[in-house]
A = this chain, B = another copy of it.
Amino acid sequence: MAAWRERLAGVRGVLLDISGVLYDGGAGGGVPIAGSVEAVARLKHSRLKMRLCTNESQRSRGELVGLRRLGFDVSEAEVTAPAPAACQILRARGLRPHLLIHEGVRSEFDQIDTSNPNCVVIADAAEEFSYQNMNKAFQVLMELENPVLISLGKGRYYKETSGLMLDVGAYMKALEYACGIEAEVVGKPSPEFFKSALQEMGVEAHQAIMIGDDIVGDVGGAQRCGMRALQVRTGKFRPSDEHHPEVQADGYVDNLAEAVDLLLKHAD
């Protein structure tokens, strides 16, 4: 593999995944990953541009700033997240969603008309993915002539302090199969979603690098948009990811701190 200098040449903007890169979620708000608080601070005070690009859909952007309680110096304005992107789509297409989402993100949909639903929106709903709630979403879809299912991300799983947890993608697949439809994904790895994060950061894809713990959603998704991507060996990283049959990261690093070291040394 080429030297880091070559692999990181010309990088001007850095997209960071949050869960599994900045912190591991869990009871009491989770715990920061060692060195990540300082790494974010160093990045923000560097010449590189930084933006958080997350599929987090359990909590609203406002609450994401609970990251600050963990010591991260980040603001709501620095976050690209699927819920506001979905709201734009719903408004633009006159869609009235039945929401199968976590209570923590419901406030993001406060201004959306949810009467007489003509689509279903699912997010990482965790405990709210009960049989009853899944069945209700299924029944809404089956009664629509042209069923529309919008999924905030299609992640397989994420890591909490207590272990790996099923993510929205698994439940998206359940509804796709049951209804014989294909969901529209808002979030990584949707190209539109990455592009909006790039636009907000003001850099071109070839000048940007994604740092994530998800080999398919973060790394593969970013690469398909023309970005470079590093995988951290934290969060849901598994050793088999380094031999993934389809996706090869531009580099593997132990954690965000190592990624930032390398970027500050070799990028731009």
Contact = CB atoms under 8 A, between A and B. Distances in A.
Contact of A156 (B130, B131, B166, B177): B177
A127 to B, nearest CB: 5
A237 to B, nearest CB: 13
A250 to B, nearest CB: 23
A164 B139 CA distance: 7
Interface string A104-127: 000000000000000000000111
A142 interface: yes
A34 interface: no
A131 B132 contact: no
Contacts of A171: 174
Interface string A157-195: 100000111110111011111111000000000000000
Contacts of A177: 156, 169-170, 173
A156 B129 contact: no
Interface in A181-218: none
A135 interface: yes
